[in-house]
Each structure stands twice: as C-alpha cells, then as structure tokens.
Amino acid sequence: MKGYYFERLDVWQGSRKFVKEIYIITKRFPEEEKFGIINQIRRASLSICANIAEGTSRQSEKDKARFINQAFSSAIEVINFLILSYDLDFIREPEYIKLREDLEKITNQLNSLYNKYYR
C-alpha cells in the first residue's frame, strides 16, 4: 500500500491521535450535548488533520499555506470548546491540561509548517 506524504508528518500523526482522544473523552459528555458541543469539538478536531492532509496535496505553496492556516484555525476553535467543556465540568482538569498541551504542540508544528510554505 502506498503511503502519502502527509502520513509521514509528525503534525498529522499528532492530530490523528488527538482526534481519537477527543472522541474518547466526548463519549462521556451529557447526551443532550450530542448535537451541540460534542459535534462541534469533534468536527473541529477532525478539521485539523483533514486540512493538513488536503493542504499537502496542493500544488502551490500559497494553497498549501492556506490549508495549514485553516488547520491552525480549527485548533484554536478546539481550544475554545475545551475551555467551555472544562467550565461546564464535562472534562476534568488533568484531561483539560493534557489536551491543551497536545494542542500547543500541534499549533507550534502547524506554525513551522506554515512558515515553510509561506515565506
């Protein structure tokens, strides 16, 4: 089976693991949040790795940078939902801290990748 470039990127691998963590943690959220914060935080976390993958397939550096920027924006959206989830007692402090640290690493990697494409 052929492997694609994005699959070798540390930032994509980290965001893939992050999505799994979000899905595991949001399973414990209240049922009434199924179409609210659960849906939103899952979609935003999925958007991080999807935009990385799609961006690497683009031909121009400008297009690649645009998708990496979109991935970064999605990561910031996830941070917003993590803060709200913590405020609403949907996640515990150790989980909140771990997820924030994971996102900090991902956003730093996205910044580096963006700078590679957008000079």
- Determine the straight-line distance between the first and last CA of the chain, rounded to whole angstroms: 34
Q: Which domain holds residue 88?
A: 5-117
CATH number for the domain that contains residue 52: 1.20.1440.60
Collapsed DSSP state (helix, strand, coil) of residue 103: helix
Q: What is the pTM of this model?
A: 0.94
Do the beta carbons of residue 45 and residue 99 sit within 8 Å? no
- For residue range 2-53, list pLDDT tens digits in order: 889 999 999 999 999 999 999 999 999 999 999 999 999 999 999 999 999 9
Total domains in the chain come to 1
CB under 8 A, 24+ apart: contacts of 68-73: 68/110, 68/113, 68/114, 68/117, 69/114, 71/15, 71/47, 71/110, 72/107, 72/110, 72/111, 72/114
